[in-house]
Amino acid sequence: MSTENIERAVETASALVDEMCRGLAGRCAEDGRLSRALLDEVQPEAFTLARLLAERSAAASLVPWAQAQGELERGLAALYVASFVRNVGQVIAWEGSAFGVDPERASALAGLRGWVEEATSTAVRVGLGRRLLERSHEPSGALGIGDDHREMQRLFARFADERIAPVAEEIHRHDRLIPEPLLQELAELGVFGISIPEEYGGSFIDHLTMCLATEELSRGSLGAGGSVITRPEICAKAILKGGTDDQKRKWLPRIASAETLVSVAVTEPNAGSDVAAVRVTAERIEGGWLIDGEKTWCTFAGRADAFILLARTGTPDSGHRGLTLFLAEKPAFGAGEDEHSFVHRQEGGGSIEGHAIPTIGYRGMHSYTVTFDRYFVPEENRIGEEGKGFILQMQGFAGGRIQTAARAVGVMEAAFRKALSYAGERQVFGRSLADFSMTSAKLADMAATLQASRQLGYHVARQMDEGEGDMEASLVKLLSCKDAEWLTREAMQLHGGMGYSEEYAVSRYWQDARVLSIFEGAEEVLALYVVARQVLAGALSS
């Protein structure tokens, strides 16, 4: 497959996506500006557009990757890009008017028809799948990273294989906390400080290293591996952006060393993705604040030593401008105690109580509903200015989204490897499962999908090192988390009945993948109010 054809296909389809952006923006315009009310009337179209924008970014990121790699990688890139082109053509041909585009504009892709048919043909997909089955290294294709990053990737891969994978099933099947010895080993590996600069005791190198570490640890276990990075990432970003010098010197080394394990207390029963609707209050008193209310989905809350907590210090109708960020300390309640609930009472009468929420997957840290009752937090633990908490929290979440995308890639890689291995071992109707064309074609589709998310993630990581990439982090999160559900489902399907059993780890990957499109920004909210709103507003102003 020629990379010139891949690049031309991306450019041609991208021009049509731009037309869709302008057309839908026109439908949502009022007095020359984007109207939230009009956007809400076309939510299905906006969601479709956001998905195409994510696919476009992934397709574009595959071009330089394919140019630097071999025939297999060029074939996988062509397969993904051709599928993207086909998706764009189908949407315009059948729904173009809804996007303010003449359906006849799909004819602009006519010159690519032969190339798309070849790149997505059964013969090509089967050939790619069989090459994948023959590989003994980089099962889903080359990573496309340099030697220094390769060494880091191998370090975390060994740890995932030797220390995390052996305990992953036990943790998942019995809903256990991460064992304390494993937490200590993760701390020694530098995992908790991977987003914190060296001057504060961290091990930050760049965002690509963080993605590589997350991928490999998540391949071992989502809940007990890659996800331990998330909370320190979100908390550290907020402190680095809004904390005082004293707060940075005090908290960041503790977080980096795992002396202080953190949980995020933002979501509430009636304020999930709509963070500005937070109702938990912080009342100013002498020396600090009293926290009242209920938070939910506070992962690792029992074992954590502190919460990064968003609370309302303004009036009930102050929206996001009335929110302030705090670090609320508490004792750690770990393995050996009641792992699923905890209570702590302060000397002054305040209390905090948490109860774990039963979940189908994502186990190892437990996610809790936590109730604060007149819980005292000293003034010195307020992070940033009063009323600026929403901004700081959103900046923290941007880093969390690229990290979550890397978690999705790690889970996909784990599921893909199991599918690849099982296909080579399983005998069906007197033949190897791998010998069937459906199997090989499916493996090619899975590898192309995986590499699209991976290469876009790496591209965004490099952008973030330049101080950019917030929007792109949302795009790769939107793309990879949904695709992780599909890929893990296909891996289960290739296992047949055994994929549905708890005997094989592939069922765990599917259960874990389901959470990815929900946390760190539910995909609908991310697509509509982060991606579509920003892109459509930009189309109106350009």
Catalytic residue set: 520
Contact (Cβ atoms closer than 8 angstroms) between residue 109 and residue 12: yes
CA distances from 216 to 83, 159, 426 (A): 28, 8, 26
Tell me if 391 sits within 8 A of 383, measured CB to CB: no
Decide if 50 contacts 478 (C-beta within 8 A). Answer: yes
| β-bridge pairing 306-312 and 351-356 | unpaired
Q: How far apart are CA 238 and CA 355, in angstroms?
A: 26
Question: 456 CB contacts (<8 Å, ≥6 apart)?
Answer: 54, 57, 58, 61, 405, 472, 475, 476, 479, 480
Question: Are 156 and 219 a contacting pair, CB within 8 Å?
Answer: no
Q: Supply 529's token pair.
A: 């109010």
Contact 343, 368 (CB under 8 A): no
Angle (deg, nearest 10), helices 389-425 and 437-465 = 150
- Name the 3-class secondary structure at 74: helix
From the list 447, 519, 513, the residue with the least C-alpha distance to 486 is 513
Question: Rounded CA gap, 57 and 80, in Å?
Answer: 12
Q: Tokens 């891996």 identify what position?
A: 491
Which residue, 359, 347, 233, 351, is CA-closest to 296?
359
CA distance 517 to 502: 23
